[in-house]
Copies of this chain bind each other. A is one copy, B any other.
């Protein structure tokens, strides 16, 4: 069924199934030695995540006239990268979170060593999967996507955001010391979210568009959409950490405050944070207004992410 005939809910269900099936084909079976690492990888990938990033790859591709199948390897890859980052973030040395998606975190279930390695293995598998997209769309486009994603998850992106997040925690010490931060808190929390979440979400939408061979103008518009929606998504996450239902969100709530994390609610309060998330979502939708009916799924997705309760 062409994407324009689907409701958002139908889109998320049908594409979610495609992604889950592709992830299942892409991950080594649990029975393959060394079993423990493959069990750990599957435990984390099939833990009930929302598959937001893969949805954005597919929607980015379909919005630009691509078919979902050709974008599936990259859709899986960004989900593996997201999963690896959660595993490493949850480690005792990092955020020390023992619950994720309503069950024990990877390091609790498999031990810290296997958790480090499961993250590393998912990271590597992601780039093997990205390379396999060349079978459908050719080496040129695939390589641009591989580079974009790699650059989005380094110190200028996801990992850099996690470092800033740690530096923003009150009371955390580092053996090598740290430069005293002269950045105002509002700028700091914006930078954390932009890098930690915004860059990979932006890269997800853009990857879909690039795989489909979108023109420069559309790529620029989708890039702006992805960045705004990505930061809004993280702000909503922070708000849910304060006011959400623990059973719905699936991790211990109030953990940001317990660790003195610098979040939007801390820097701006709940009400102002809600307004900022809504404004960013509006900017994201406006960025793709020119796409007309083609952009409907992406616009509805932005609204849906803003209103979610988990």
Interface residues, chain A, with chain B CB atoms under 8 Å away: 28, 32, 34-41, 84-85, 88, 91, 93-94, 108-114, 116-117, 119-121, 123-128, 130-132, 134, 138-140, 142-144, 146-147, 149-151, 153-156, 158-160, 162-164, 166-167, 172-176, 178-179
Contacts and interface: CB of A to CB of B under 8 A. Distances in A.
A132 B130 CA distance: 15
Contact of A120 (B114, B159, B175): B159
Prevailing SS type, chain A contact patch: helix
Contact of A174 (B111, B138, B153, B156): B111
A163 B128 contact: no
17 contacts: A32-B155, A35-B179, A36-B163, A37-B160, A41-B155, A84-B120, A91-B113, A94-B116, A110-B176, A113-B172, A116-B116, A119-B120, A120-B159, A125-B155, A128-B151, A132-B147, A139-B142
A91 B116 contact: yes
Nearest to A104: B175
Contact of A163 (B88, B114, B127): B114
Nearest to A128: B150
Contact of A147 (B32, B37, B131, B147): B131
A88 B93 CA distance: 13
Most chain B C-beta atoms within 10 Å of own C-beta, residue among A140, A162, A164: A162
A117 B36 contact: no
Contacts of A85: 120
